[in-house]
Each structure stands twice: as structure tokens, then as C-alpha cells.
Structure 1
């Protein structure tokens, strides 16, 4: 009995590349905006593009697993060993958005929702990890207000950029639109 894998070799390669781009964009692309969450302008793009190209449930989770493992092994933050949970949560959230909207990541509104939701959920998991490691809740509550707004805005903008890239690739015929 021969079983087929869920993702094809092409899809696995695309998703792995997007996971690596998540790590690289977080680690090496910096802006001097001095606002929390501004890097998710760039992190949301590979997540949404990868999910838009593959259009299968679990795509975002796979991207999050690859990006999280790379961040856990080669990360630069203080708690980089726990980054796998943050990026898995972001990928799972983008998967849920994808299933909810029939994987229409070529639409800017869906891209905004996916990028914003993924970024905010990643922020919540980050604060949960800090809380479980003993950071006082008052510090977390003080920082969560502005941070959640900036994560929402920058993640959403990254999702819109990704949606525009996907729509352009579809118009060019690089990605097939096999929807019914």
C-alpha cells in the first residue's frame, strides 16, 4: 500500500523556504522605528505568501515550525529557545484564517486579517512565555497596550503586501488559480 504525503515535494520546498525567510527576516532585517512589533511587517510576508502559494491547511503551521526551529537554534533574543512556540502559534493562526476564508490570501483584506492575527497571537504567546518564566504581570500589562496595536498594524501591513504579491503572481500565471 503506497501512501501519498500531504504536501508534495514542491510544496514542502516552498514552505521550507518561507520558514527560512521568516527566520532571516526577523534576524537580519532591521528598521530603526523604535516601535514594538515593527519587524512583523517583514515576518508576516513569508507566512502569508507561503500559505497563499500552497493553499492547504497546515501550511502556516509548517512554516512556523521551520522558522521557529531555526530561531530556537540560531536565535539572537534572550529566550530564543522558546521561539518555536511563538512561531507555531503564528502559523496556526494564519492557518485558521486561511481555512475560514477558503485560502483567499490573494485578497488584501484576508492578507491583513491573517498578518494582523498572526502577529498579535505571536505577541500573546511571547507574553505568556514571559509570564510563565516569572516576569511580574504588572510589567506585562503595562507593555501590552501599545504593543498589541503596533503588532496589529505592522502584521496587517505585511499581510496586505503579501496578498498583493500573491495576486500579482496569480495574474502572471506563476501560481495557478485552481479554485472551483
Structure 2
């Protein structure tokens, strides 16, 4: 039986999943605007999905980064951070499939990045409501937060598409990379 992900794909997705966690930990954007970290973490997520182009690639990277975030407890939700990362990976997977992995178009990258960042925000608020944070506080904060999550996720998605196109032009990755080791 042939494995779903090849060994080189698992290695790439694992490294990029860990990079999501490291970038979120190391790069703090000091503008104090909700969702601004999406500008950074969306890059490796979309690049990994854009290179592997298989359903589940984003979910796998979300799992790796979520396990690391939960294990090291760097987020506000600690162990439950895994749900945010799994949700963002799944939403990037589904949105990428909707656009047939056409990351040559910056608009596709913008939409995929915005959806991923927005989904992460929604799961974050859902978990907070589960713990009893009053819905009034969440509703007041969600309007500005939703807008900024969409904007920063979209910008990160555009940057990811530009990086992918540069990697393709430089010959680092090709459209045939998916089938290179079959």
C-alpha cells in the first residue's frame, strides 16, 4: 500500500508546521492589533499547502504547530491551543481545494490566508466562551478583531503566493514536484 504523504512531504510539512510555531513565538509584531501575527504564520502554512497540494497538508501542519503550542503553553489557552491550529489548518486546506491549489494568483492567497486567520480567531473566541467569558466582552472585541484578522491573514496570503512564485521561477519547486518521487 502506498502512503498518502511521501517521506519528503512529511518532512517538509513537519518543518513548516514547526516554523509556524517558531514564527509565532519569535516574531512579535509590536503594533498591538489583533490578528497581526497572521501576517507571519500564514506564510509557511500556505507555502506548505502550495507545494504539497494534497488535502490534509494544512491540517497536518496545524497539528504539528498545535502540539508544539500546547506542549510549550505559549498561548492563552495552553493545552486547548491545538484546536485553533487544527482549525486554521483545516480551513486553509478546504479553501485551497476550493481554488484548486492555484496559488499563482495573489487573490487566492489573500482569500486563503484571510480565511485561515479568521477561523483561528473564531475558534479562539469559541473556546473562551466555553470557559465562561461573557459574550458581551467577546461581541465588543470581535468586530474590530474580525476585520484585522481578515486583513493581516490576507496580506500574509499574498506574501506566501509571491514567495511560491519566486521559488517556482528560481526552479526550487516545480509543478511536477508533487509527482517527483512516485
Taking structure 2 as the reference length, what is the TM-score of the superposition?
0.94
> Which of 133, 136, 146 is the matching residue for 1:135?
133
Inter-partner Cα distance in structure 2 for 1:106 and 1:73: 35
Preserved CA contact (<8 Å) 1:50 1:60: yes
Inter-partner Cα distance in structure 1 for 2:74 and 2:92: 24
CA-based RMSD of the aligned residues comes to: 1.1
Residue 117 of structure 2 aligns to a residue whose secondary structure is helix
How many residue pairs match? The answer is: 177
CA offsets 1:80-133 (integer angstroms, 9 cap, x no match): 211111011001010011111111123211110110000001100000000011
Divergent runs of 4+, >4 A? none
Inter-partner Cα distance in structure 2 for 1:31 and 1:137: 27
Inter-partner Cα distance in structure 2 for 1:107 and 1:59: 20
Query: What is aligned with 1:60?
Result: 58
Inter-partner Cα distance in structure 1 for 2:121 and 2:63: 16
Residue 133 of structure 2 aligns to a residue whose secondary structure is coil
Preserved CA contact (<8 Å) 1:107 1:167: no
Inter-partner Cα distance in structure 1 for 2:68 and 2:3: 23
Is 1:110 equivalent to 2:90 in the alignment? no
Preserved CA contact (<8 Å) 1:44 1:155: yes
Preserved CA contact (<8 Å) 1:52 1:106: no
Taking structure 1 as the reference length, what is the TM-score of the superposition?
0.95
Query: What is aligned with 2:40?
Result: 42
List gaps (5 residues or longer) in structure 1: none
Inter-partner Cα distance in structure 2 for 1:77 and 1:60: 20
Inter-partner Cα distance in structure 2 for 1:75 and 1:44: 20
CA offsets 1:12-50 (integer angstroms, 9 cap, x no match): 011001100110111110121011111110010011000
Query: What is aligned with 2:174?
Result: 176
Deviation at 1:145, TM superposition (A): 0.5
Query: What is aligned with 2:94?
Result: 96
Inter-partner Cα distance in structure 1 for 2:50 and 2:144: 30
